[in-house]
């Protein structure tokens, strides 16, 4: 009987321990060592492909993997920023310069919780709210950066941006040439002939030759533009884009930032070691990495410059993002069932990579692992807020510069369309003001595109340098980036008018600056002449004449000086000036006995004047 009681008690204790006791798995994860070499060091993570080092990590035990939920990889055009994104069109099969943007687009810039427990529904509500706020901030930041990158890429590639307008330019230009210039141009040429006949009475051979040469030049230029309208616009495009590419290679972000080991010392010498990205895409890679990726890593691992972030940050990002190559491989599969299987296998592989990297972070850096779990939601909100500030500070000048460049290329196409219409009247040189203004607008657009393109390249290089300097705190990086944009706008502000070479108004342009010294000299001469005339008028007044030739009156000198100062300060229309009427002899004389008495008393060599009444 006693043994039976003991047996029942033992069974009861065993059942209670099974229900409420601790699990068999301890605090340390049960991992299975992966065969092969040990884990990669920081230099090896940066030297070898990501998958090579991920394969050398330990696999997660099946018992622990049941309570882990890795994030699902996202497509490159995911989210708000994907609205501005288009698939790359350059040859990237053997390119060495693929950055985060050119490979992954805007995928993966959000946060998820991880390793919260097997009961995901019992997760603390603060974690959900904080991660939702941080994801909203990154959605806005990625949208701003996406708009800036899209405008820059289209601005620096006018063929892709304005290719749709080529039929419009061709049809409109040829229609205006055939219906307007070919018909009314003959009438204008007749007017030019009559004008030359009328001016021949002046015997001005140089003026006649200038008028005739101008008419021939306009006729040839308009005919050439109408014959090749699209080529005329693309000629300016290609010249300016090649110039922008050279400038960007010289002062922009480097195209050889991440060079594989096989290409060290022979970049751009072999086809497999050539960076095929356009300059605008290289700038987009720089902006996306410095503004989005670094802030995302700061919220995911607590820092963007720690050894843990440098080693495992790219692997974590790759595990939750799909590349353009992954998407293209899935789309090439024609069988829907096989395509779904390939997609599930790809997602499962990336999720396993995430768990392996996360377990390694848990072992090496527990503090960073707490960030990765999502328990430090306020830090993620702060990282998202910094991402928004950085994106706004960066995009202000970059977007404005891109829009001005886009408008410059648009002016070329409208100038080609308007050339036959304005050339119809512009054949006559005195009536060619509209055609001259059109040519000035095109020339000004060329200068503004080159100036703002150069400024944007220098600005992107400065942003890359600021954001990649670990010694600068985050707030100072944002402030410096904003100040660089403000300084760039102040320096380039005189050239912001697309249709003028300089100045905010037509009166402040370069032509005005060239004429201004002569105008200022003429104004000073006129002012000096007016002041001299005022002085003569003052000296000739009867009330200012001295009673005696030897008598000096200081008041007269002071009055003259005061009138000179007043004449310089008065507007031009109120200054002293000589009358336009011819001077006549005075109709009366002023009798002054004191002056006559003094002149008689003093000996003089001059002949005495005898008055009429004393004769």
Mean pLDDT of 589-593: 64
Q: Name the least confident of 89-98, 280-289, 599-608.
A: 599-608
What was the pLDDT predicted at 387?
Answer: 92
Q: Which of 187-191, 287-291, 519-523 has the highest mean pLDDT?
A: 287-291
Q: How high is the mean pLDDT of the chain?
A: 75
Is pLDDT of 28 > 80? Answer: no
Mean pLDDT of 444-451: 84
Rounded-to-integer distance, Cα 232 and Cα 418, Å = 13
Confidence of residue 521 (pLDDT cuts 50, 70, 90): very low
- Beta bridge partners of residue 32, listed in sequence order: 59
For 203-216, the pLDDT digits (tens) are 777 777 888 888 88
Rounded-to-integer distance, Cα 279 and Cα 248, Å = 6
Mean pLDDT of 340-346: 91
Which residue, among 272, 287, 273, has the nearest Cα to 153 in the 3D structure? 287
What was the pLDDT predicted at 543?
Answer: 46
DSSP one-letter string for 503-545: -SSGGGSHHHHHHHHHHHHHHHHHHHHHHHHHHHHHHTSGGGS
Query: SS3 sequence, 206-264?
Result: HHHHHHHHHHHHHHHHHHHHHHCHHHHHHHHHHHHHHHHHHHHHHHCCCCCCCCCHHHC
Phi-psi bin for 115: left (phi > 0), alpha (psi -120 to 50), beta?
left
| Structure token pair of residue 606 | 């001059």
Pick the more confident residue, 534 or 217.
217
Pick the more confident residue, 539 or 263.
263
- Matching residue, tokens 């290679």: 249
What was the pLDDT predicted at 115?
Answer: 80
Is pLDDT of 288 > 50? Answer: yes
Pick the more confident residue, 232 or 347.
347
Q: Name the least confident of 264-268, 401-405, 496-500, 576-580.
A: 496-500
Q: Name the least confident of 90-99, 261-270, 522-531, 583-592.
A: 522-531
Pick the more confident residue, 42 or 205.
42
Contacts of residue 113, defined as CB under 8 A and 6 or more positions apart, other chains included, come to 123, 127, 128, 131, 373, 374
Rounded-to-integer distance, Cα 327 and Cα 342, Å = 11
Strands 31-32 and 59-60: what pairing? antiparallel
- Beta bridge partners of residue 74, listed in sequence order: 321
Q: Are 372 and 358 in contact (CB under 8 A)?
A: yes
Q: Which of 201-205, 370-374, 517-521, 535-539 has the highest mean pLDDT?
A: 370-374
Mean pLDDT of 192-221: 81
Q: Which helix (H) or strand (E) holds 32?
A: strand 31-32
Rounded-to-integer distance, Cα 471 and Cα 328, Å = 40
Is pLDDT of 308 > 60? Answer: yes
Q: Give the three-state DSSP class for 198.
A: helix
Size of the chain in residues? 615
- Matching residue, tokens 């999502």: 374
Which residue, among 280, 497, 283, 284, has the nearest Cα to 408 in the 3D structure? 497
Rounded-to-integer distance, Cα 446 and Cα 131, Å = 48
Q: Name the least confident of 13-27, 145-159, 451-465, 539-553.
A: 13-27
| Structure token pair of residue 491 | 């320096």
Chain centroid to Cα 484, Å, comes to: 12
Mean pLDDT of 13-38: 41
What was the pLDDT predicted at 357?
Answer: 92
What was the pLDDT predicted at 27?
Answer: 36
Is pLDDT of 527 > 90? Answer: no
Q: At what angle are helices 229-251 and 279-288 packed, to 10 degrees?
A: 50
Confidence of residue 544 (pLDDT cuts 50, 70, 90): very low
Mean pLDDT of 388-401: 91
Q: Name the least confident of 105-114, 142-151, 176-185, 532-541.
A: 532-541
What was the pLDDT predicted at 300?
Answer: 92
Query: SS3 sequence, 52-108?
Result: HHHHCCCEECHHHHCCCCCCCCECCCCCCHHHHCCCCCCCCCCECCCCHHHHHCCCC
For 82-139, the pLDDT digits (tens) are 888 887 766 555 555 567 888 899 998 999 888 876 655 445 566 778 888 999 999 9
Mean pLDDT of 78-84: 87
For 315-338, the pLDDT digits (tens) are 999 999 998 888 888 888 888 889
What was the pLDDT predicted at 7?
Answer: 52
- Beta bridge partners of residue 59, listed in sequence order: 32
Is pLDDT of 424 > 50? Answer: yes
Q: Give the three-state DSSP class for 9.
A: helix
Q: Taking the CB of residue 291, how many other CB atoms lie within 10 A of it?
A: 27
What was the pLDDT predicted at 600?
Answer: 47
Confidence of residue 354 (pLDDT cuts 50, 70, 90): very high
What was the pLDDT predicted at 462?
Answer: 86
- Beta bridge partners of residue 321, listed in sequence order: 74
Pick the more confident residue, 540 or 63.
63
Rounded-to-integer distance, Cα 615 and Cα 72, Å = 127
Rounded-to-integer distance, Cα 293 and Cα 387, Å = 9
Q: Are 171 and 416 in contact (CB under 8 A)?
A: no
Is pLDDT of 549 > 70? Answer: no
Confidence of residue 456 (pLDDT cuts 50, 70, 90): confident
Pick the more confident residue, 534 or 134.
134
Which residue, among 136, 137, 130, 138, has the nearest Cα to 106 in the 3D structure? 138
Which residue, among 118, 100, 477, has the nearest Cα to 324 in the 3D structure? 100
In this prediction, what percent of the chain has a pLDDT beyond 70? 67
What was the pLDDT predicted at 297?
Answer: 93
Rounded-to-integer distance, Cα 405 and Cα 131, Å = 39
Rounded-to-integer distance, Cα 321 and Cα 288, Å = 15
What was the pLDDT predicted at 42?
Answer: 86
Is pLDDT of 554 > 60? Answer: no
């Amino acid at each position: 009987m006693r043994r039976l009681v003991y047996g029942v008690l033992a069974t009861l204790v065993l059942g209670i321990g099974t229900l409420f006791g601790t699990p068999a798995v301890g605090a340390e994860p049960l991992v299975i060592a992966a065969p092969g070499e040990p884990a990669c060091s920081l230099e090896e993570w940066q030297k070898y492909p990501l998958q090579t080092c991920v394969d050398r990590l330990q696999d997660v035990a099946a018992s622990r993997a049941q309570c882990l939920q890795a994030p699902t990889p996202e497509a490159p055009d995911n989210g708000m920023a994907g609205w501005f994104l288009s698939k790359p069109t350059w040859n990237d099969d053997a390119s060495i310069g693929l950055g985060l943007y050119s490979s992954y687009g805007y995928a993966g810039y959000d946060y998820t919780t991880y390793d919260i427990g097997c009961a995901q529904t019992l997760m603390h509500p603060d974690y959900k709210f904080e991660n939702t706020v941080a994801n909203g901030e990154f959605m806005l930041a990625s949208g701003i950066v996406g708009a800036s990158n899209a405008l820059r890429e289209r601005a620096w590639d006018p063929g892709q941006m304005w290719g749709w307008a080529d039929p419009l330019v061709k049809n409109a230009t040829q229609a205006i040439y055939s219906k307007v210039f070919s018909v009314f141009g003959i009438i204008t040429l007749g007017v030019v002939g009559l004008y030359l006949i009328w001016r021949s009475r002046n015997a001005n051979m140089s003026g006649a030759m200038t008028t005739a040469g101008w008419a021939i030049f306009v006729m040839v230029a308009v005919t050439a533009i109408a014959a090749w309208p699209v080529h005329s616009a693309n000629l300016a495009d290609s010249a300016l884009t090649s110039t922008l590419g050279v400038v960007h290679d010289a002062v922009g972000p480097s195209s050889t930032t991440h060079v594989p080991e096989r290409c060290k010392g022979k970049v751009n010498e072999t086809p497999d070691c050539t960076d095929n990205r356009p300059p605008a895409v290289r700038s987009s890679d720089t902006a996306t990495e410095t503004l989005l990726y670094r802030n995302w890593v700061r919220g995911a691992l607590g820092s963007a410059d720690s050894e843990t972030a440098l080693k495992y940050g790219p692997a974590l990002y790759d595990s939750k993002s799909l590349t353009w190559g992954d998407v293209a491989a899935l789309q090439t599969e024609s069988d829907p069932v096989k395509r779904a299987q390939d997609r599930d296998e790809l997602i499962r592989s990336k999720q396993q990579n995430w768990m392996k990297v996360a377990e390694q972070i848990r072992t090496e850096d527990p503090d960073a692992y707490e960030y990765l779990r999502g328990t430090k939601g306020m830090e993620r909100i702060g990282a998202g807020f910094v991402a928004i500030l950085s994106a706004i500070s960066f995009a202000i000048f970059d977007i404005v510069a891109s829009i001005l460049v886009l408008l410059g290329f648009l002016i070329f196409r409208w100038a080609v369309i308007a050339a036959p219409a304005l050339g119809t009247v512009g054949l006559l040189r005195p009536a060619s003001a509209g055609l001259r203004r059109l040519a000035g607008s095109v020339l000004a657009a060329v200068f503004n595109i080159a100036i703002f393109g150069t400024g944007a390249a220098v600005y992107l290089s400065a942003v890359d340098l600021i954001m990649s300097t670990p010694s600068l705190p985050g707030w100072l990086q944002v402030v410096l980036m904003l100040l660089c944009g403000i300084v760039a706008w102040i320096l380039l502000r005189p050239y912001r008018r697309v249709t003028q070479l300089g100045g905010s108004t037509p009166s402040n342009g370069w032509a005005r600056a060239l004429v201004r010294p002569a105008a200022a000299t003429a104004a000073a001469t006129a002012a000096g002449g007016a002041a001299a005339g005022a002085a003569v008028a003052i000296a000739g007044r009867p009330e200012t004449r001295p009673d005696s030739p030897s008598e000096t009156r200081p008041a007269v000198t002071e009055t003259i000086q005061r009138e000179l100062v007043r004449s310089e300060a008065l507007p031009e229309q109120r200054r002293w000036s000589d009358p336009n009427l011819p001077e006549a002899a005075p109709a009366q004389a002023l009798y002054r006995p004191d002056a006559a008495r003094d002149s008689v008393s003093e000996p003089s060599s001059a002949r005495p004047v005898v008055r009429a009444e004393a004769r």
